[in-house]
Structure 1
Amino acid sequence: ANTGIYDFVYIEQDIIYSYLDRDFLVNISEGLASNPKLQAPNVDFDDFTTFINYFKNAEGDVFGVPMEAFIKVYLYRKDLFENTEAKAAFRARYGYGLEPAKTFGQYRDNAEFFTKFCADQGMDCWGTTVQGHTGHPASTYELLETIFPSFGVYNWGINMDNYQASVENGGQLNGGRAKAALRFWTGLLDFAPPEALQSTWSEVGASFAAGRAAQGWVYGENAAWIATDEERSRVVGNVGVALPPTAEGVMMQAASGNGYIGYFDGGAFGIPHSSKNKEATMLWLQYLGQNEVQADWAIAGGRITHKATYSDPKVVAVDAKADAYFTLMRDTGYLFAGAPPYPFHGAGRAAIDPFIFKALAGELTPEEALDQAAAAVDELMKELGYAK
């Protein structure tokens, strides 16, 4: 973002705070206000969804024009969950009806059941996906941004008042909820396809599309094509979309604005100060920000950044084929959240990575992993000068 090579850069939502803190980016609002001739008449930042707020500074100025935004949803195989034989066998084994998981107990039962059911049927299918790569930060992100909040552990378990992670210093990274979350998640490896320990977000999408999992947490950018693209997906017509399971009280906290149930992902295009063509780039970013160019983009990438896109006929048609994925994002997106506003995002996550990798590999217990991760984060915060 500060090399001078590029006129515009992709800004992942989670790294925007680091870029703003280091003053990498041009203030787009200020640039357009100071040169009205650059202001495109058919582009208004008010046309964007609230996701644009992640790319504003404290004064409300825009530093990035959103180009993708999507939630991480719960996908499940309708053909499996609605299978008459499976439903009868599940009730006989667990004593209640088979349905998409709303609780973690249900999720685990579903995962265990379908792993055996699929094997008995001679199917290459397991009970759940796990984004559990033991050498890639995707696994840490699944824990911090998906599993943790659904258990009621927010902002990575770091206390935002003093930037400490350990319970003894006021954090929650090694608290009871966090340890229960990690134990639950690593326990799902028993019911996940063999590629789980080499899976990032891309491999999880591919596994589900190949019909290798009965359920899973899948980034919305993959949901639309998995549900509709017959050339890439073997489960077209059988994809169910729902909110992810949550612990007791989490949904209420999210609805009241005191928590969130999962990750609202996405990114924007911004202009580095080192750009040699700032004015031309402002025009280009506005071109990409037009309502008129959003629908095809939304269909291709499962992403929506403009309020009007939800009602575009093309998007409505795909929504009907994708089990109302876009409708779910429109109506419940407020329950999800982007990454916490940490300028130390990259360094903080990297401090946690090795302990999550070891927990997934079985080299540390979940309790050991989080105790060590919390201590590492506390030490890092002292080194970086954030600890209070």
Structure 2
Amino acid sequence: IYSYLARNFLVDITKTLKDQPDLKAPTYDDANFTSFANYFKDASGDLFGVPMEAFLKTYLYRKDLFDDPKIKEAFKKETGKDLKPATTHAEYTEIADFFTKYGKDNGMELWGTTAQAHTGHPASWYEFFESIVPTFGVYNWGIDAKNNYAATVEHGGAMNSDKAKAALKYWLHLRDIAPPESTQSTWTETATTFAAGRVAQGLIYGENAAWIASDPAQSKVVGQVGFALPPLEPGVLDDAKAGKGYIGYYDGGAFGVPVTSKNKEASLLFLEFIGQNEVQPDWAIAAPRITNTATFDDPKVKEMDVKLGGFYTMLKDEGKLFAGAPPYPFHAQVREATAPIFYDILTGKIGPDEGLDQMAAKAEEELTSLGYRK
């Protein structure tokens, strides 16, 4: 949306409803939205999009596997530790290694983790920059907008920092011990992999979490799914609580009205309709996305929250620790400029350290070309 705002593509919803009060529905108020709506506002606080989905990318794990006495005993024997959801990357890796080996040793179609590691789709680029490096303490893609849009360590950025390189090696190892479909997996395939019972844990977009946990027509692991915060490096949670960073991706979207629309008034009425408190609960149950604060307290949503093991409660209580995309008008340009190098890393054409060095340099080159970096 930031590229749209920079080019004045969208109708200012706040201003339009103020200038044309006859369009303002009495049951619509943008104060009803969660803080996620802030991602669709300009610098003055005017709203340019009505949120239609908002969810976290969270850590899912198989409760039936983690609670299985035989598996718990085997894990304890092999590692000397109790089997429980990971809170650090070292713990997550240890659990992933264990389950991949356990599956192989027991002739099971079971691996230790998902990996959204497609070798030619931006889903892999997004997994790394939005879900993996933040947990190592690298935020906003490693680009410092306040420091002349630096991306390289040489100029004050962090895209090729030691933390970013450690994050990439961690993730590439997970890719190597994940199911074979992982090298062609986007956000869709990681969900179907988890739902098929092929992994013990993984990072999954919240839009898929509810059906994985509750719909037997689509999932083989109904009632067996647990939710937790992503594994983190020391200090990252403190950064998030202090507003200096975040622990993962707060995904979602909004409906806006293009300035070229021939039916602006009708479009705004539709946006007001979907933004009403009374419309939201059924939508929230059908897909685990909540955009209005009142939705959390709806009886039907509370009932589903129990079935999902507290997924909505996590969204309500911990959502503030996650973040959406950085407010970059150059979002697509930098992604497209650096993605080919990233794919070369994934296919082994270039090493991870050298690849991140090249990506950071390429990002600065693109930002200079676009006029952001001076």
Tell me the TM-score range normalised by the shorter chain. Answer: over 0.9
- Out of 10, 24, 27, the position equivalent to 1:42 is 27
**1:119 shift after superposition:** 2.4
**Helix, strand or coil at the partner of 1:111:** helix
Is structure 2 residue 129 aligned with structure 1 residue 151? Answer: no
Alignment match, 1:353: 339
Equivalent positions of 1:13-24 (< 5 A) are: 16-24=1-9
Q: Tell me the secondary structure at the aligned position of residue 251 of structure 2.
A: strand
- Residue 195 of structure 1: how far off its partner (Å): 0.6
Superposed, which structure 2 residues align to 1:62-141 within 5 Å?
62-141=47-126
1:246 aligns with 2:222: no
Structure 2 CA distance for aligned equivalents of residues 46 and 218 of structure 1:
29
Partner of 1:294: 280
Deviation at 1:362, TM superposition (A): 1.8
In structure 2, distance between residues paired with 1:189 and 1:70: 24
Structure 2 SS opposite 1:147: helix
Give 2:37's match in structure 1, choosing from 38, 52, 55: 52
| Conserved? CA contact 1:228–1:318, under 8 Å | no
CA drift at 1:335? 0.3
Counterpart of 2:207?
221
Query: How far apart in 2 are the matches of 1:273 and 1:71?
Result: 30
Residue identity matched to 1:229:
D
Name the CA distance, whole Å, in 1 between partners of 2:260 and 2:238.
45
Instruction: Tell me how far 1:321 sits from its aligned partner.
Output: 1.1
- For 2:79, give the aligned amino acid: Y
| Structure 1 stretches lacking a partner, 5+ long | 1-15
Note the alpha carbon deviations across 1:330-380, whole angstroms, 9 max, x for none: 000000011111100000111221122122222221101101101101111
Task: After superposition, give the CA deviation of every residue in 1:82-111 in whole Å (9 maximum; x if it has no partner).
Answer: 111111111111121111110001111111
| Length-normalised TM-score, structure 1 | 0.95
Between 1:270-279 and 1:158-167, the stretch displaced more is 158-167
Query: Alignment RMSD, CA only?
Result: 0.8
Runs of 4+ with >4 A deviation: none
2:118 alignment partner, SS class: coil
Question: Match for 2:215: what amino acid?
Answer: D
In structure 2, stretches of 5+ residues that fail to align are: none
Deviates more, 1:96-105 or 1:118-127: 118-127
Taking the aligned partners of 2:371 and 2:27, their CA distance within structure 1 comes to 45
Q: Which residue in 2 is equivalent to 1:209?
A: 195
The one-letter amino acid paired with 2:144 is: N
User: How many Å apart are 1:190 and its aligned residue?
Assistant: 2.2
Alpha-carbon distance in structure 2 between the residues aligned to 1:150 and 1:270: 31
Q: How does 1:297-312 map to 2 (within 5 A)?
A: 297-312=283-298
What's the secondary structure of 1:317's corresponding residue? helix
Deviations 1:294-348 (A, max 9, x none): 1111111110000011111111111111110110010000000111111000001
Which of 256, 259, 262 is 2:248 aligned to? 262
Following the alignment from structure 1 to structure 2, what is the Cα–Cα distance between the partners of residues 362 and 86? 34
User: How big is each residue's C-alpha offset from its partner over 1:194-241, in whole Å with a ceiling of 9 and x where there is no partner?
Assistant: 110100001111111111111000001111111000100000010000
Tell whether 2:155 aligns with 1:169: yes
Structure-1 separation of matches of 2:105 and 2:161: 39
TM-score under structure 2 length normalisation:
0.98
Aligned-residue offset at 1:169? 1.0
Kindly provide the amino acid, as one letter, of the partner of residue 337 in structure 2: A
Q: Among residues 323, 335, 356, which one is paired with 1:370 in the alignment?
A: 356
After TM superposition, the structure 1 stretch with the greater mean CA deviation from structure 2, 110-119 or 174-183, is: 110-119
Please give the secondary structure, in 2, of the residue aligned with 1:109: helix
Q: CA deviation at 1:281?
A: 0.8
- Identical-pair percentage: 58
Name the amino acid aligned to 1:112: D
| 2:123 aligned partner, one-letter code | A
**Matching residue of 1:185:** 171
User: Contact 1:186–1:359 at 8 Å: present in 2 too?
Assistant: no
* 1:74 partner SS: strand
Measure, in 1, the Cα distance between the counterparts of 2:137 and 2:292.
Answer: 30
Distance in 2 between residues matched to 1:361 and 1:187, nearest whole Å: 13
SS at match of 2:164: helix
Letter aligned with residue 238 of structure 2? M
Residue 337 of structure 1 corresponds to 323
255-264 or 349-358, which moves further after superposition? Answer: 349-358
State the alpha-carbon separation in 2 of the partners of residues 208 and 223 from structure 1: 10
- SS where residue 309 of structure 1 aligns? helix
Per-residue CA deviations over 1:168-190 (Å, capped at 9, x if unaligned) read 11111011000000010011122
Q: Cα offset for 1:121?
A: 2.9
Which residue of structure 2 aligns with residue 160 of structure 1? Answer: 145
> Which residue pairs with 1:33 in the alignment?
18
355-364 or 32-41: which moved more? 355-364
Question: Could you tell me which amino acid in structure 2 is paired with residue 67 of structure 1?
Answer: M
